[in-house]
Structure 1
Amino acid sequence: MAYYPTSFHPFLAATIIYIFFLVLYCPPIEANSDVGFSVNLIRKTSPRLFPQRLRGLSAMSETPQSPIIADLGEYLMELSIGTPPFKIYGIADTGSDLIWTQCVPCNNCYKQLNPMFNPQKSSSYSNISCDSNLCHELDTGVCSPQKQCNYTYGYASDSTTQGVLAQETVTLTSTTGKSVALKGIVFGCGHNNTGGFNDHEMGIIGLGGGPVSLISQMGSSFGGKRFSQCLVPFHTDVSVSSKISFGKGSEVSGEGVVSTPMVATQDKTLYFVTLLGISVGNTYLHYNGSSEIVEKGNMILDSGTPPTMLPTQLYDRVVAQVRNQVAMTPIVDDPELGSQLCYRTKKNLGGPVLTAHFEGGDVALEPLQTFIPPKDGVFCFAFTNTSDDRGIYGNFAQSNYLIGFDLEAQVVSFKPKDCTKNT
């Protein structure tokens, strides 16, 4: 569930993933250890129909990691907060910054299956004063009559969390079983949370580039301000996990890597890159329909949005070419599918291959990444349109690529990889 400070209205979709793992005792990885870590993302899907929204993320192996699970198109990251540690599952979201979870007392909250975090039971919990500089790291931080820093944080899906900004010890468990303890992490203790959350989602883990995201608060403690993800495709068996890696060891390099620069904007949260155009088979479609230079930073890389969203003028041209190159008749009589381009078939379509032409290189997308099955016997084109001039590169298209976000070098790197393999 991405946070957009502008009037961006992304498309929603849905998938479910839960992460379960046995925690073994191992010496904790200390901050400033110059050692990275990785965590697994495990998904149990219950696909909903295409107009809803998803989010996702993954990791590598011997570098720092934290458990993540996906739920209806969203991936949930497992971490613990407080002393003693209290386990939560929050949506891993590169499109927002704030880390938050539902807290008691919860006056207006959505239903969740697991118990809510009770700050009074944690010896390491402390509210942030509204006089503190930390209160102003979040644009919506305001002072309460009790001099606590209250916040309101909204998302493009019309979901909202309200509560108190606080500091806590956050503990993650890597894929090697070692715990990673981070002290003094700023997070939101949500007492009023509304929107399209389901009962397995206990909050959101913001992985954007802003000052209060998990990535920014980790900083260079683990050998560099960077992370990488490897997401399994949508219709992968639910027992196969995705991964996300943090710090040293999460670099994406070697043969076949395509790197594109991040584009700096006033919005520090979102990861903007430049898309020059899209090819459907051998047909090249310029981003804005002409040979003019495209605007820099016209696409957002968002693990929290499943479909790729294109400006309407580009989307219409892409869909027209896909129709021309798929030798099947689209479904036109199913109201559940709406206006989505869908086909009746027992297996994924044979083509065409789409190519995203980023500044710096090309990323090829097979049908596995561009068509998803919202229900048995149906595959739908995993793209949609937006009235905005900027688009979103969603997590369907990000699957089966090792994608590295290097916040120090300000580049995003893509490397084709079978993310169902744990190597």
Structure 2
Amino acid sequence: MEATQYLRIALVFLSLVIFSRFSFAASKSSGFSIKLIPIDSSESPLYQPNLTHHERVERRVNITLAKAKLTKLRFTQNATFSDDKLLSVLDRQYLFYIAYMMIGNPVQPVYLMVDTGGHLTWTQCKPCINCFQQSYPIYNSQASSSYHRVNCDHPLCNYNEPSSVFRCVNGDCVYTITYGDGPTASGPTKGYLSSESFHFTNRDFDDEEFTVLFGCSNDNINFNFGNQPSNRISGILGLDLDPTSLVSQLHETIGGVFSYCIVPYDQNYPFDVHPHILRFGDDVQLPEGNIPTTPFISFVGRSFYYLDLIDISVGRYRLYLPPGSFDATLGHGILIDSGNPFSTLTTSSTSGLNVFELVTTAFSLHYDSYNLVRVLPHPTSNIRFNLCYVGREGFRDYLPLTYHFQGADYVVHSRFVHMEFNEGFFCVALMPSPFASILGAYHMQNMRIIHNTVINAIQFYEEECASDHF
């Protein structure tokens, strides 16, 4: 889809949520929330209780590596984004969050994979032509009094445009969407563009109901999460910059503000991961007084929140990077994406410096001064952290990491810079990237993150995120 169609660039969570100025909500809201469930949470349909701590970290590393590759591929594309070439491979290893949603009247529950690179939200829909395995009941459009098919005259049914996923068949707007390309592609999913009531929870635990356009998919093949007999996932929650995405449709309702707070992964050892609450509009309660605020940068045709990173400090040691080292106009900036498990730093900045190496060197000089023994995590490990040391009893001098953004310093507590392992070693939980740097979820623990498009800025402050729940 041509970049000229995109009215506003931004990212969710996540990488995250993207807004446009289209709104098709039925009414105004005082704010509402969605529960987002990471794959390692015991509430997740993809939860594997027998995985060790080591294996869970490996899975998060694999997700980070996969997303870094997809981010690089997106950057190397031209300004035309076609849905049949979406660089968003839908595999249970690569997608990090699952959303629990209620739709229809009477309500029907659905579990949807959260895809920040996806447009249209869709779920499997009876009566099926082809539907993949789903242990939860498949959404039945005929059982809902609020369900309606959308005709071809609707402004979002842009079937006349060359890159459109929509076609007009007997007056109905139908779609075909494939994710990825080649042998790793998922789909296609086919169905009817439809309108339906989506239900959300507000701060007073009341039901907020909005009419939203979505995909009623009755013909679906080649989705890996559908290969499991116990699968409960029925579709995709699209949160990118396209006008058909859920958050784009609700832009006016939420007033351009959303927020999340990531509960520390070690809150209930071992490695119990709590769901996060994605809060919208008035459900985001700002504290009194000034809070750290840094502007975000957006570009036509790029669906990311870029931040203006000036410098980095390791402990008290500031790198003093040359100005423009994170020049987002050249694709080497830093973006915020809570759907990325670990943060990455570029090995090839705009200034030509290997920022990842500079940062890890600063860490290594500190730990080497204590004569700590540097090790590889394990000969068969797939963790791939570059800097790991054998722990020492009583050692506590772990360093924090500071991102010096324009207008605000973002300090990552040392607890959330390092990853400790039962085998008696710890690692600096950073990963290299040949392209853009990413502020990921591990560096967002116990931090309230607010995306505020009213002032075009990211706001943040420390918070005990375990207290953020329905």
| Fold shared by both chains (TM-score > 0.5) | yes
The superposition leaves residues 304-337 of structure 1 with CA deviations (integer Å, 9 ceiling, x where unpaired) of 2111122222222222222233353343243223
Distance in 2 (CA, whole Å) between partners of 1:235 and 1:182 is 36
On the 8 A contact 2:258/2:279 being kept in 1, the answer is: yes
SS at match of 1:397: helix
Structure 1 252/75 Cα, relative in aligned 2: closer, same or farther at 3 Å? farther
Whether 2:372 is the aligned partner of 1:340: answer no
Match of 2:447 in 1: 401
**Which of 246, 260, 267 is matched with 1:229 structurally?**
260
**What is the aligned-residue RMSD (CA, Å)?**
3.8
Alignment partner of 1:51 out of 50, 61, 70 = 61
Partner of 1:318: 359
Measured in 1, the distance between the counterparts of 2:444 and 2:129 equals 35
In the TM superposition, residue 404 of structure 1 has moved relative to its aligned partner by 0.8
Q: Does 2:317 match 1:283?
A: yes
Rounded Cα–Cα distance in structure 1 between residues aligned with 2:360 and 2:129: 45
Partner Cα separation in structure 1 for residue 450 and residue 180 of structure 2:
24
Instruction: Please name the residue that 2:156 is paired with.
Output: 134
Range 227-236 or range 196-205, more displaced = 196-205
Q: Partner letter of residue 343 of structure 2?
A: T
Measured after TM superposition, the shift of residue 131 of structure 1 is 5.2
The 3 A distance-change label for structure 1 pair 52 and 115 is: farther
1:19-418 to structure 2, matched below 5 A, reads: 32-41=27-36, 43-44=41-42, 47-49=56-58, 50-53=60-63, 74-92=96-114, 94=116, 96-103=118-125, 105=128, 107=130, 109=132, 111-130=133-152, 132-136=154-158, 140-143=164-167, 148-152=173-177, 154=179, 160-161=186-187, 162-164=189-191, 165-174=193-202, 176-187=204-215, 189=217, 191-192=220-221, 194-195=223-224, 199-222=231-254, 224-237=255-268, 238=272, 241-255=275-289, 257-267=291-301, 269-285=303-319, 290-292=322-324, 294-296=326-328, 298-312=333-347, 313-326=354-367, 327=370, 328-332=372-376, 333-341=378-386, 342-343=388-389, 350-372=397-419, 379-388=426-435, 390-418=436-464
CA contact (8 A) 2:147 2:195 kept: yes
Q: Is the 2:147–2:196 Cα contact (8 Å) retained in structure 1?
A: yes
CA shift, 1:163, in A, is 2.7
Q: 1: distance between equivalents of 2:374 and 2:391?
A: 10
* Residues 291, 271 of structure 1: alpha-carbon distance in 2 compared, 3 angstrom cutoff: closer
In 2, are the aligned partners of 1:102 and 1:202 still within 8 Å (CA)? yes
Q: Residues 373 and 201 of structure 1: is their aligned pair in 2 closer, same or farther, counting only changes over 3 Å?
A: farther
Cα shift at 1:371: 2.9
In the alignment, is the contact (CA less than 8 A) between 2:259 and 2:451 conserved in 1? yes
2:257·2:451 contact (CA, 8 Å) conserved in 1?
Answer: yes
**Deviation string, structure 1 residues 347-396 (Cα, Å, up to 9, x no partner):** 997521001122221100013322345777554433222222x2222111
Letter in 1 for 2:104: G
Cα gap change, 1:325 to 1:422, in 2 (>3 Å)? same
Q: Which amino acid aligns with 1:325?
A: H
Matches of 2:63 and 2:407, distance apart in 1: 29
Unaligned runs of 5+ in 1: 1-29, 56-69
Q: AA paired with 1:163?
A: K
Contact kept, 8 Å, 2:343 with 2:441, in 1: the verdict is: yes
Which segment drifts farther, 268-277 or 138-147?
Answer: 138-147
Task: Tell me, yes or no, if the aligned pair for 1:301 and 1:394 is still in contact at 8 Å.
Answer: yes
Find the counterpart in structure 2 of residue 25 from structure 1: none
8 Å Cα contact 2:103/2:199 also seen in 1: yes
Distance in structure 2 (CA, Å) of the matches to 1:142 and 1:374: 49
Residues 1:143 and 1:317: Cα distance change in structure 2 (over 3 Å): same
Higher helix proportion, which one?
2
Q: Give the aligned length.
A: 375
> Does the Cα contact within 8 Å between 1:95 and 1:303 map onto a contact in 2?
no
Partners in 1 of 2:283 and 2:298 — Cα distance? 25
Query: Partners in 1 of 2:150 and 2:302 — Cα distance?
Result: 22
1:159–1:195 contact (8 Å) kept in structure 2: no
Q: Which moved more, 1:203-212 or 1:295-304?
A: 203-212
Task: Work out whether residues 373 and 380 of structure 1, in 8 Å CA contact, stay in contact via their aligned partners in 2.
Answer: yes
C-alpha contact (below 8 Å) 2:390/2:424 kept by paired residues: yes
CA contact (8 A) 1:234 1:372 kept: no
Q: Describe the shift of the 1:141–1:226 C-alpha distance in structure 2 as closer, same or farther (beyond 3 A).
A: same
Does the residue aligned with 1:334 lie in a helix, a strand or coil? coil
Runs of 4+ residues over 6 Å off in structure 1 = 70-73, 346-349
Task: State which structure, 1 or 2, has the greater radius of gyration over its C-alpha atoms.
Answer: 2
Instruction: Look up the equivalent residue of 2:199 and give its one-letter code.
Output: T
Cα distance in 2, alignment partners of residues 106 and 87 from structure 1: 21
Contact 2:57 2:383 in 1 (8 A): no
- Could you state the TM-score of these two structures normalised by the residue count of structure 1? 0.74
**Secondary structure of the structure 2 residue equivalent to 1:148:** strand
